[in-house]
Amino acid sequence: MTLSTSSHSLLTVTDLGRAGFVELLDRAAALKADKKAGRERRALVGRNIALVFEKDSTRTRCAFEVAAYDQGAHVTYLGPLGSHLGREESVADTARVLGAMFDGIEFRGFAQGTIEELARNAGVPVWNGLTDEWHPTQMLADILTMREHQPGDLEAISFCFLGDGRSNVARSLLMTGAMLGMDVRIAAPRALWPPDTLVADARREALASGARVMVTEDTGEALDGALFVYTDVWVSMGEADAEWEHRVPLLTPYRVTAAMMAATGRPDTRFMHCLPAVHDTTTAVGRKVAERFGLVGAEVTDDVFGSAASIVFQQAENRLHTIKAVLVEALGR
């Protein structure tokens, strides 16, 4: 199995195809077991990896760094102000410089076009740690987590995303589920549905894979029988603060509450979130939401977030193991 191009880049969620995606899940599961058993073999000794971040990060940065260190590689972190990328130097020129020094480049930022330009010019693997359109490494962690709770065929897994259907996570879940033959539902207000072209692409993938794809405003229909309920922040990093005034009225009916979890009709439904989450008033964002809108927690209530059904921290840990699988597949000796 190889990644999307001859240089082993991973730019969008469909680059791997179903077989490649499942193979990476299997590799990640094995690497996770090896790490926990203390028998991990280092396959990246002597490799050097650049981590280029236009957006701040906790899970993505830590997962790439620990994955690389565990496997014997070195990393160089270039933060939002840590390089000339796109300001004093073109993306193409930066790609050529980094490609001559590093064996691979991770990019987390805004425009999908930026990472595509990096991949065209670097001459080494480029991996998408998040853009405004796609979040492929998150999808690997999410599906690994689902599989850990629902062993067997991926086609038997149903999940429902509640919230902003245009977000990179919702878009990625839609296409990933369609590619893998899963039962994927997106419940969102009509104004926040994924783009029509993306839904059409997902339906075409579903025809080939046997997936069931639903995009609806009806939370009851979307939640019925779902094994996993997934949500994300209502206003993403880099968006204007004024977006809260627009999004809160639209998205409050899609807030994940205990009642929403019960609406699946399943006692074994699990709650998922890619984090960070606005679930209480211990953060500046949480306090702002409470003060401005009278909500304790935004996209999810604290009782759901902290419940036994919540597997959000398992998701977070699995970022490490799945990203490690990506690195080993691309650069392993």
Catalytic residue among 59, 274, 279, 280: 274
Catalytic residue among 59, 132, 138, 279: 138
Told to judge if 274 belongs to the known catalytic residues of this protein, a careful annotator would answer: yes
Structure tokens at 304: 């759901």
Catalytic residue among 135, 247, 255, 321: 135
Among 178, 231, 150, smallest CA distance to 13 is for: 178
Told to judge if 292 belongs to the known catalytic residues of this protein, a careful annotator would answer: no
Told to judge if 315 belongs to the known catalytic residues of this protein, a careful annotator would answer: no
Told to judge if 108 belongs to the known catalytic residues of this protein, a careful annotator would answer: yes
Told to judge if 135 belongs to the known catalytic residues of this protein, a careful annotator would answer: yes
Catalytic residue among 8, 59, 108, 321: 108
Residue numbers annotated as active site: 108, 135, 138, 232, 274, 319
